[in-house]
Structure 1
Amino acid sequence: MRVYLIRHSEPTYQQITAAGLTGFGRELGGLTDRGIMLAQQCAQQPLFAQVQLILSSPYTRALQTALEIVRFNDIPLKVELGLHEWLPDDTGSRTDTDEQAATAYKLYRQHAGKRSTASPLPYESAAEMKARVLATLNKYAASYDYIACVTHGEVMRQFGDQKDVGYCGVRVITID
């Protein structure tokens, strides 16, 4: 199965910051006006002529990007929890502050995506993230030839050269 990984479009966190949300609340940020425009441009790509299904991370910025793609293409959409962004706190409670999340990401990057048992923060390792995403995608491999997945930059880094992908950027992978 060919998978088009698509990074969500440009987000805004103004409302989230004004509301004082932290932890998982930070994931409720939608797109900027420019982000909506970028998603609409992404939706015009010829690759969508082949796509049989669009999967999306449940985070608002990914869902809003997927919505713009679906508006221009007659393709079914499914939300998949396993396509969410890297977790700075993989305990499931995600009560971290923005500063703790930034520290966790700094540790994650310093240790090349690995987390030792001595780590002061319980962030998700790169291997755990990649396994989570592959488990999600593998559910579709027997039924589809081409799917698109609207997901996140750090997720996409696990499937390629580790370079950042721009908003609405596409990375193609194959799932056997």
Structure 2
Amino acid sequence: MACVTGLPLRVEPLLHEWQVYESGTDNFEKTRAMFLENKGELLPNSPIQYETAEEMKSRFLECMGKYRDYQTVIVVAHNMLMRQFVPNEKIDFCQVIECELEI
């Protein structure tokens, strides 16, 4: 993105991938299914701990607060974070999606 646009690149640590607090690929897929089934909520009796949709959204908005005065910001992110702001049906692999957010 930076090469194509000529804009400076900034890496924001809070814009990381969705957090699953267990290790292993099998746990990740199982947890992803639980996350989607529970509509992003973490049930009290959940056998696996993960970042909720609300926590993810809050983390993103907190990070983006410093860009409040910018007219346009380009964010490169994973699907689980993007789908907190854009319907999953509109998200495709390596796609550019425009959306407006109140920050």
After TM superposition, the score normalised by the length of structure 2 is 0.88
Counterpart of 2:26? 99
Alignment match, 1:126: 53
Counterpart position of 2:4:
72
CA–CA distance in structure 2, aligned partners of residues 141 and 114 of structure 1: 28
Deviation at 1:164, TM superposition (A): 5.4
Q: d(CA) in 2 for partners of 1:163 and 1:83?
A: 22
What is the root-mean-square deviation of aligned Cα atoms in Å?
Answer: 1.5
Specify the alignment match of 2:67 in structure 1: 140
Distance 2:19 2:90 in 1: 17
How far 1:161 sits from its partner (Å)? 2.5
The structure whose RCO (Cα within 8 Å, separation 6+) is larger is 1
More strand by share: 1
Matches within 5 A, 1:1-176: 69-89=1-21, 96-142=23-69, 144-163=70-89, 165-169=91-95, 170-176=97-103
User: Larger Cα Rg: Structure 1 or Structure 2?
Assistant: 1
Please list every run of 5 or more consecutive structure 1 residues that lacks an aligned counterpart in the other structure. Answer: 1-68
Name the aligned partner's letter for residue 30 of structure 2.
T
Task: Count how many residue pairs are aligned between Structure 1 and Structure 2.
Answer: 102
What does the per-residue CA deviation read over 1:115-174, in whole Å, with 9 as the maximum and x for residues that have no partner? 0221111111111111111111112103x1111001111111100224351122214122
Give the percent of matched residue pairs that are identical in Structure 1 and Structure 2: 28
Partner amino acid, structure 2, of 1:153: N
CA distance in 1, matches of 2:6, 2:29: 39
**TM-score when normalising by structure 1:** 0.54
